[in-house]
């Protein structure tokens, strides 16, 4: 049996709020997708946020619940989308500290995939630098469509949301 590793983000570090928001959102997905409606969401329930610019705007929680239980969106696709948003946001914070290390290159490619519909998208010159993190390697000698990851789903098929969190934990060490 593999020993489990716990990743803890420090509240004084730059990724803390983003990661905790991702985790809170994904933990809260389970009851939203249950057909017995444990949250008692319906047309009369309005989200706690309302428009400031468009003050008449309110989010109908019944509509959201309906999409979740009818298959309009799945918990898996919601988690992947939230993870892509997390990778994009974290990269904006970390980009100025890109040291072109192999693990930062992995981060850069994951963020790029997150920005292209959660699929790896290499131009004819990419990947240009060695990219590896733990046992995950992106072959930088195979460019563009010759790369076996080209067009492959990133979050879900290639790495898991847990892997993305572990990578962010490692990347955070690059940020003073």
Of 37-46, 151-160, 165-174, the range with the lowest mean pLDDT is 37-46
- Kindly report the number of other CB atoms within 10 A of residue 131's CB atom: 23
Please indicate, yes or no, if residue 14 is contained in any of the structural domains: no
Please indicate, yes or no, if residue 159 is contained in any of the structural domains: yes
Domain that holds residue 133: 74-174
Question: In the chain, how long is the greatest CA-to-CA distance?
Answer: 56
Please indicate, yes or no, if residue 146 is contained in any of the structural domains: yes
Please indicate, yes or no, if residue 51 is contained in any of the structural domains: no
Structural domain total, the chain: 1
88: left (phi over 0), alpha (psi -120 to 50) or beta: alpha
Nearest to residue 128, comparing CAs of 114, 116, 142, 111? 142
pLDDT at 49: 65
pLDDT at 149: 98
| pTM attached to this predicted model | 0.90
Please indicate, yes or no, if residue 7 is contained in any of the structural domains: no
- Kindly report the number of other CB atoms within 10 A of residue 95's CB atom: 12
Nearest to residue 133, comparing CAs of 102, 162, 154? 102
**Cis-peptide, bond into residue 2, ω within 30° of zero:** no
48 by DSSP, 3-state: which? strand
Q: What angle do CA 123, 128, 130 make, to 5 degrees?
A: 135
For residue range 15-56, list pLDDT tens digits in order: 999 999 999 999 888 888 877 877 777 666 766 666 789 887
For residue range 92-131, list pLDDT tens digits in order: 999 999 999 999 999 999 999 999 999 999 999 999 999 9
Please indicate, yes or no, if residue 90 is contained in any of the structural domains: yes
pLDDT band at 1 (very low <50, low <70, confident <90, very high): low
Please indicate, yes or no, if residue 33 is contained in any of the structural domains: no
Please indicate, yes or no, if residue 25 is contained in any of the structural domains: no
For residue range 47-87, list pLDDT tens digits in order: 666 678 988 777 777 788 888 888 899 999 999 999 999 99
Burial-class residue 36 by CB neighbours within 10 Å (0-12, 13-18, 19+): exposed
């Amino acid at each position: 049996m593999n020993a489990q590793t716990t990743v803890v983000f420090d509240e004084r570090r730059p990724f803390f709020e983003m990661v905790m928001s991702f985790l809170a959102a994904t933990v809260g997905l389970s009851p939203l997708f249950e057909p017995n409606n444990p949250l008692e969401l319906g047309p009369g329930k309005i989200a706690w946020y309302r428009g400031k610019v468009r003050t008449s705007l309110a989010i109908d929680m019944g509509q959201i619940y309906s999409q979740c239980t009818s298959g309009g969106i799945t918990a898996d696709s919601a988690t992947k989308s939230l993870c892509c948003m997390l990778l994009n946001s974290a990269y904006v914070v970390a980009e100025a500290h890109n040291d072109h290390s192999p693990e930062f290159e992995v981060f850069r490619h994951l963020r790029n995939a997150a920005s292209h519909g959660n699929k790896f998208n290499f131009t004819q010159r990419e990947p240009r630098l060695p990219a590896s993190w733990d046992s995950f390697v992106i072959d930088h000698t195979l460019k563009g469509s010759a790369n076996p990851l080209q067009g492959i789903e990133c979050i879900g098929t290639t790495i898991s949301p847990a892997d993305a969190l572990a990578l962010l934990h490692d990347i955070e060490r690059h940020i003073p």
